[in-house]
Chains A and B, each alone.
Chain A
C-alpha cells in the first residue's frame, strides 16, 4: 500500500514507514533513547529527501519523548530546574542550527554536513559506549575489581555563577549546563535528533548528575528543543511532513511498548553492548558512503527551493 506524502512529494510504502517507526520505537523502548539517530538515516534509505527527513524526525521525537516524560514525571525523576537551564542553551543552539542548516541547504552541502555529524558523533558515542559496556560486562562476570567511585568534584564545580539543583543534589555553575544545552540544540537542528545520546553521557560524566534523574531531565529538555526545531523548520523551510510524522508516531508508539518488554528481559550491560554495536553499524554504513567513490557522481539538488 502506497501513501503519498504531501510535503516530501513522494509516494512511499505505508508499511515501510510504519516499520521504520516500529523498529525505532522498539529500540527506544529497549534502550531509553529517542531513536532520532536511527530514524533519520532510515528515512534517507526509504527515499525521503534529507531536509524533510530531518525536520519530520524532530516532530516524531516530540511525541516519543513526551510519552516517556509522563512516566518520569509520575516517578518524580525530572530535575525541572536543571532542565530549564539546559533549555536556555538549547533554544539558542537550535536557532543557530536551523540557520546553518538553511544556509547549507542553499549551498547544496546540507547532506554532507548531516552525514559528517552522524559519522562523527555516532562513531565517538558508539565506541565509548562499547568499551564501557564490555568492561562492565567483564566486571559482572565476577572478576571483582570495585567500580571506580565517581569523581564528585571536577572543573565544572569551580566555575562561577553557581546554582542549587535540589532534585539532582548539586550546587554547580550554570555555564557548563547552558553550554551542553547549546551544543545539543545545534545537533538537534542539524541532525534531526533529540541529542539524548550526547546529553545523557554529558549529564553523568560532566555535570555529575545522579543517574536516576538523567533520563527524565534529558527528555524534558529534548521535548522543548525538538518542538522549537520543528517550528523553525516548518516556518523557515516548510519541510515538516505531518503525514509522514503521523505514520512514524503510530509505529513508534507501539514499538516502544514492545521494546520496553524486551528490555526488561535483558541485562543492562548486554543492552548497552547491543546499542553500541547498532550505533557503530549505522556509523560505519554512513562513513562508507562518504569515503567510497559513489556510483553516480552527479546529484540533483534544490528543485524549486
Chain B
C-alpha cells in the first residue's frame, strides 16, 4: 500500500519535474559595444538547470538561439531584360532577423519536433516570416534570403555546438559577425526532453555603437544638414592642408 503510493508519487514527481526544470543563465557579456575597431565578437552562453527533483530518464537536450532585430526585407530576383541582368520581380519579406544563430546539443531534427519548431519558431526558416505575396513563387525568395545570409555568415545552424554536462551544465559560444546592426539581440535557451520544450528562458544582449561611431551615426540621422556641412568642412580643410603641406615640402 505504502509502496504503491510511493510509486504513484514518484511518477507524479517525474511528470511535474518536466515543468520544474529551470534555466539559470550566464553570458560572457550582456552588451556588445561597436567602436571603430569592432571586428565581430564571440558570446559565451553558459548555464545550469535548476531542479528540485531527480533527473528524469529521458536525456536533456539544449537549444540556444540568438536573434538580431527583425526588419522587413525586400528580395529582388534578377532577370534578363534586353540582354542585361536587372532586378525584375521582388518580394517583401515581412520580418527577417538581421542575425540568427541556432545552436543545439545534437542534430536539430533529433532534438526538436516539427510541431515544437512551429510553436516556438526555432529553426532559421521559421525565424524568417513571410506572409503571402503576389509573386509567382514567394517561397523561392525566402529560401534565397536564407541562403544568401547563411553564406554571409549572418544565419547559422550549429548542430552539436551546445555542450551538456551531466544533464545539468551547458555551454556554447556564438560568433557575432563584424557587420552587426544595432539593437537588442534576443537570447533564448530551450530545454528539450523527448523533442518537446520543457522549459524556455529568454534574455537580451544589447548591441550598440559607442564613442565616435555613436556620435557620427546620431549626427547623420538627427542633424543631417549639420553632418553634411561637417563632411564638407573636413573635406575642404583636408584639401587645403594637403596642398599647403606638400607646397612647403617642395620648398
List chain A positions with a Cβ less than 8 A from chain B: 1-4, 6-7, 9-11, 59-60, 62-71, 108-109, 111-112, 116, 227, 230-231, 233-235, 238, 240, 242-243, 245-246, 249-250, 253, 256-257, 289-294, 296-304
Residue of A nearest to B91 (CB): A298
A231 lies within 8 A of B145 (CB): no
CA distance A11 to B179 in the complex (A): 6
Whether a CB of chain A sits under 8 angstroms from the CB of B74 is yes
CA distance A69 to B240 in the complex (A): 9
Residue of B nearest to A111 (CB): B87
Known A230-B231, A234-B231, A290-B84; judge A67-B239 contact (CB<8 A). Answer: yes
B145 lies within 8 A of A2 (CB): no
Residues from chain B with Cβ under 8 Å of A289 in the complex: 85
Known A245-B234, A298-B78, A300-B145; judge A112-B240 contact (CB<8 A). Answer: no
Among B77, B212, B236, the residue within 8 A (CB) of A298 is B77
Residues from chain A with Cβ under 8 Å of B217 in the complex: 6-7
Contact with A along B23-48 (1 / 0, CB 8 A): 00000000000111111100000000
Among B180, B234, B242, the residue within 8 A (CB) of A253 is B242
CA distance A302 to B73 in the complex (A): 7
**Interface range on chain B: under 10, 10 to 19, 20 to 34, or 35 or more?**
35 or more
Among A7, A243, A297, A304, the residue within 8 A (CB) of B77 is A297
List, sorted by A's number, 10 A–B pairs whose CB atoms are closer than 8 Å.
Answer: A6-B209, A6-B217, A9-B180, A70-B240, A71-B243, A111-B87, A231-B225, A246-B234, A293-B85, A297-B77
Residues from chain B with Cβ under 8 Å of A10 in the complex: 178-179
A59 lies within 8 A of B231 (CB): yes
Residue of B nearest to A290 (CB): B84
Beyond the given pairs A238-B224, A242-B234, 5 more chain A to chain B contacts, judged by CB atoms under 8 angstroms and listed by A's residue number, are: A2-B39, A230-B228, A235-B228, A240-B227, A242-B227
Residues from chain B with Cβ under 8 Å of A230 in the complex: 228, 231-232, 235
Residues from chain B with Cβ under 8 Å of A235 in the complex: 224-225, 228
Query: By CB atoms of chain A within 10 A, which of B85, B141, B181 has the most?
Result: B85
